[in-house]
Structure 1
Amino acid sequence: MTPVTAPEPIRVRLLDELLRTAMLIRRHIEAVAAERSLTPPQARLLVRLDAPMRMQEAAHASACEPSHVTALATQLEERGLVVREADPDDRRARRLSLTEAGEAERAELLARLLDDAPVASRLGDAECDVLLRLLQEPDTGR
């Protein structure tokens, strides 16, 4: 049997802190979305919809299944926040766009999400840039 080596204490502390921060961020998003009468997935889609995008792109950007984006789009469309239209580059594809009301909702949602956001509200621009680059590095499976 291969002996299991003890993890490095600094990595255990880092993992614990990342998990704690993820929980804080999740609670923050849930609270802000609820204030706006949105679900967290609806809020995420609105935040990511900074320009018209195909439904498939929206699914990827929102980290959810295409069928879930269809349901979210229907819910947001019923509230007058988005419209689905044919993609001008491919009439077979559907594209999501914010309505004027959707743009206003997105702006208010972003303002509230960024207000007192866990971690991000305490960082300067340079620190945000460093953290963003570290978090976006591809996981090489090491």
Structure 2
Amino acid sequence: MATMVHCGGGWKRLLNNRIYTVSKKQPVVIGWQRYQAQELLPQPDSQQLWQRLSCGAGSKGERYYDWAKVPVNCDRSDGFQRWLLFRRSLEHPEDPRVSYYQVFAKSDTTLETMVQIASKGGGLRSALNLLKTS
């Protein structure tokens, strides 16, 4: 199965994972209940859901953010799962400017792997290499 990853306005193909940015109003379903992505955003004090992870080196060093994921319904799982992935700033954890991603990947995909792939931007070769080694 080819993978489509939305990075910087374009779709990138990656092995068996899909990660793309979505609006905070993206509709998702959990069980029989329909939600918007923003309604599933974990509370800032939910330390068990938020993890501080680097998404790579920038011009001023490592770029750390808080990341969380929430599983959502998946029509045809076959060993795969859908999640909403959230990224928030460390300087302003209460700031409503959170980045939202929708992920479709193998069920055992770690949050760390999702973060590394989501942060690759247009770096298709880097993301492919990451998937080969994870």
User: Same-fold call, TM > 0.5?
Assistant: no
Q: Which has the higher contact order (CA 8 A, sep 6+)?
A: 2
TM-score, length-normalised on structure 1? 0.25
Judging by fraction of residues, say which structure has more helix: 1
TM-score (norm 2): 0.26
Computing the radius of gyration from Cα coordinates, the structure with the larger value is 1
